[in-house]
Amino acid sequence: MVTETPDAPDIAPSAKAPAPIAPDALPGLRRRVRAVLVATQILGGLGIATGVALAAVLATEVGGTEALAGLASTATVAGPALLAMPLAALMARRGRRAGLVLAYLLGAAGAVVTVIGALADSFPLLMLGLVGFGAGSSANLTARFAAADLAEPDHRARAISTVVWATTIGAVLGPNIAAPAGRSVSGFGIPVAAGPFVWAALVFLVSALVVWLLLRPDPLLTARALAAAEGSGAADRPEGRSLRAGLRAVRESPGARIALVTVAATQTVMVSIMSMTPVALTHHGADIELIGLVISVHIGGMYAFSPVMGWLADRLGRLAVIGLAVGLLGLAALLAGTAGTSDGQIAAGLFVLGLGWSAGLVAGSALLTDSVPQEARAAVQGLSDTVMNTVAGLGGLVAGVVVSQAGYGPLNALAACLLLPMAALALRGALRRA
| pLDDT (mean) for 41-69 | 78
Contact yes or no for 246/380 (Cβ under 8 A): yes
How large is the angle between the packed helices 254-283 and 377-405, nearest 10 degrees?
30
Per the rule left: phi > 0, alpha: psi between -120 and 50, beta: everything else, 64 is: left
The region that residue 177 occupies, defined by phi over 0 for left and psi between -120 and 50 for alpha, beta otherwise, is: alpha
Asked if residue 177 is part of any domain, the answer here is yes
Distance CA 115, CA 126 (A): 7
Higher pLDDT, 396 or 122: 122
In the prediction, which pLDDT does 204 show?
A: 93
Is position 393 within any domain? yes
Q: Does residue 17 sit within a domain?
A: no
> Which ranges in 317-376 belong to alpha helices (H)?
318-337, 343-370
| Strands in 361-431 per DSSP E | none
- Please give the model's pTM, rounded to 2 decimal places: 0.79
Q: What's the whole-number mean pLDDT along residues 177-184?
A: 74
Question: Please, how many CA atoms are within 13 Å of residue 366, restricted to the half-sphere of its CB?
Answer: 35
For residues 350 and 298, the answer to whether their CB atoms sit within 8 Å is yes
* Selected residue with higher pLDDT from 331 and 14: 331
State pLDDT tens for residues 273-318: 998 898 888 887 777 778 878 887 898 898 889 999 999 999 999 9
Max mean pLDDT among 10-14, 138-142, 417-421 falls in 417-421
- The answer on pLDDT for 334 being more than 80 is yes
pLDDT above 90 coverage of the chain, percent = 39
Question: pLDDT value at position 35?
Answer: 92
Task: State how beta strands 17-18 and 4-5 pair.
Answer: antiparallel
DSSP lists the bridge partners of residue 5 as 17
Flag whether 33 is in a domain.
yes
CA distance 382 to 150: 18
Q: What domain range includes position 184?
A: 24-220+237-433
pLDDT reported for residue 15: 54
Q: Report whether pLDDT(9) > 50.
A: no
Confidence of residue 195 (pLDDT cuts 50, 70, 90): confident
Quickly count: other Cβ atoms within 10 Å of residue 124's Cβ: 10
**Residue 140, in any domain of the structure:** yes
Q: Which pLDDT band, with edges at 50, 70 and 90, does 24 fall under?
A: confident
Q: What radius of gyration do the chain's Cα atoms show?
A: 21
In a domain, residue 229? The reply is no
Distance CA 125, CA 233 (A): 46
Q: How many domains does the chain have?
A: 1
* Other C-beta atoms lying within 10 Å of the C-beta of residue 30: 18
- In the three-class reduction of DSSP (H, G, I as helix; E, B as strand; rest coil), residue 409 is classed as helix
Least confident of 61-75, 127-141, 153-167, 376-390: 61-75
Query: How many angstroms from the chain centroid is the CA of residue 47?
Result: 13
Residue 3 lies in a domain: no
> Does residue 154 belong to any structural domain of this protein?
yes
Which strand (E) or helix (H) includes residue 4? strand 4-5
User: Is a pLDDT exceeding 50 seen at residue 188?
Assistant: yes
Map residue 225 onto helix, strand or coil.
helix
Residue 186 to residue 176: CA distance in whole angstroms? 17
Residue burial 158-176, b: 16+ Cβ < 10 Å; e: rest? bbbbbbbbbbbbbbbbbbb
Q: Cβ(162)–Cβ(307) under 8 Å?
A: yes
pLDDT band at 78 (very low <50, low <70, confident <90, very high): confident
Specify the CATH number for the domain of residue 171: 1.20.1250.20
Report cis status (omega within 30 of 0) of the bond before 18: no
